Amino acid sequence: PCSPRQLPKEVVLKLYRTMTLLNTMDRILYESQRQGRISFYMTNYGEEGTHVGSAAALDDTDLVFGQYREAGVLMYRGYPLDLFMAQCYGNTSDTGKGRQMPVHYGCRDRHFVTISSPLATQIPQAVGAAYAIKRADANRAVICYFGEGAASEGDAHAGFNFAATLECPIVFFCRNNGYAISTPTSEQYRGDGIAARGPGYGLLSIRVDGNDVFAVYNATKEARRRAVAENQPFLIEAMTYRYGGEGSEVGAPQKPTFLRVLVVFSPLRGSIGHHSTSDDSSAYRSVDEVNYWDKQDHPISRLRHYMLGRGWWDEEEEKGWRKSSRKMV
């Protein structure tokens, strides 16, 4: 595995800037939906580390099958902000010409397959693509993202079984954020999570701290290597949480000053990290629970502390980047 100290400064800075830019985009588009400007939105609060940590470990030609919370993977690959906006607004610049719901991104040039709404349908599709890549001897991998709730779908069973028996070069990446919309993991399954299912199918499996971007990077890097070199499908379970937006005091009253919103990102009830704009997560989890996780273990805060310790970042750079990233969005 690669030690964090072995990753060059420019890579770590790209990780951080992508995570925080995604956080900024989420806030603004969430507000846009609440203002009636777009019909729907899903934030990525708290799961930014799973996006960029895995994206950094992939080859740019590896094929990505996302669920609906992987915008950071596409952003890390350089997808323009203008096209994120065009897709969510469904305007004439949208490459899908408004045929899809918001957040259902896709980009052929960046090897990112267009997202579908039905849960887990991408899993057997990804296995089929991986099998085609194997037959073509293309020296590429497929990565397929899904949540722990989607892992309860029949398509997950079919995909895992086909991948193992056909020996496909695929990485299954499960984001376990503790809730399938409103259903906690304690009511979803009785076994030891998702990674424990892998050996029964013949999949190599690992469980990692999804809030540690370096742990995610290492796990994905090794999984991809095994998938390509050995045609060994690999299952990663990244443990994370649907937090509030980084740096927020969820549920606490905030003064609506321009400075606080612009620099500190300490704003809205929307930052609690609902499943989508159609969800109110306060109905099934407490504000205290969200605040606890937000303060203790947020992936952006953890990476920033590391960068501060290395002398690669300071408070002035933080303020400047927050301001410029908001202006970009």
Residues annotated as catalytic are 31, 117, 275-276
Helix or strand holding residue 81 (H, E):
helix 81-89
Say how far apart CA 154 and CA 11 lie, in whole Å.
38
Q: Which residues contact 303 (CB under 8 A, 6 or more apart)?
A: 12, 15, 16, 19, 49, 213
Say how far apart CA 171 and CA 167 lie, in whole Å.
12
- Which residues on neighbouring strands pair with residue 142, listed in sequence order? 63, 170
Say how far apart CA 169 and CA 53 lie, in whole Å.
19
| Contact between residue 17 and residue 321 where contact means Cβ atoms under 8 Å apart | yes
Query: How is 169-195 classified by DSSP, letter by letter?
Result: -EEEEEEE-SEETTEEGGGT-SSSTTG
Question: What ranges make up the beta strands (E) of 80-124?
Answer: 112-113
Specify the 3-state DSSP secondary structure of 95.
coil
